[in-house]
Amino acid sequence: MTIDDAAIERLVAEARAGDAWAFGLIFDHYHEAVHRFIASRVQRPSDAEDLTQLVFVKVLEALPRYESRGVPFGGWLFRLARNAVIDFVRTRHDHADLEAVVEQARGDAGPDEMVIVRQELDAVEAALATLTDEQREAIALRFFSGLSAREAAEAMGKQEGTVRGLQFRAIAALRRQLDIEERQTALRTEGRSARPVRATTDG
């Protein structure tokens, strides 16, 4: 079910008034995105599950004090998620790991596919390691969790333009690290050279 911003605000108002069904819809709408974000920042899938549940407990506790003030609810929620991850990492000295993010994508892949996935995962992890913490966080919020630039800005406590700049620089750095431009150029070159030459005849 797709829920727009206006519907979210209505559900939030109802949840604040004690409507458990409304809070359940909020949970359903944001749970997967929150989990993806947390899984991209901690190492063990079990920790990501526990932290995701903790975040929604915090949301439920903080809802009576929530005021929109023109701020997207998703940004406010992800700020709670971000703070929970920061506290966890500070306590556990953990590091970001993409393992949990791709675990479900592997599915029933065979041995050959698993090798390829592992190689691609290693390449992406190495590329992400070259980014700054803020760039990695912007990427996680925007792409792993699907937040808008405005929501990501609220979650990070920054201006929207700053987040867009972090995202732009992060993507440019990842493209360089993963040789994406070179690969695309090579594919275009191969495509042109593989095109059949049409024979022409006079008359």
Alpha carbon distance 144, 76 (integer Å): 17
pLDDT tens by residue, 63-75: 888 887 777 898 8
Mean pLDDT value of segment 171-200: 62
Alpha carbon distance 110, 185 (integer Å): 31
**15, part of any domain:** yes
**41, part of any domain:** yes
Burial class (CB in 10 A: 0-12, 13-18, 19+), 18: exposed
Mean pLDDT value of segment 48-70: 87
Structural domain that includes position 90: 5-193
Q: How many domains does the chain have?
A: 1
**198, part of any domain:** no
Which residue would you say has higher pLDDT here, 27 or 175? 27
Is pLDDT of 137 > 80? yes
> Which of 37-46, 84-93, 113-122 has the lowest average pLDDT?
113-122
**200, part of any domain:** no
pLDDT tens by residue, 97-112: 445 445 544 555 566 6
Closest CA to 98 of 120, 75, 121, 82: 121
Alpha carbon distance 36, 116 (integer Å): 22
Query: What CATH number corresponds to the domain at position 47?
Result: 1.10.1740.10
**199, part of any domain:** no
**201, part of any domain:** no
pTM of the predicted structure, to 2 decimals: 0.59
Cα 48 to chain center, whole Å?
14
**48, part of any domain:** yes
Cα 144 to chain center, whole Å?
2
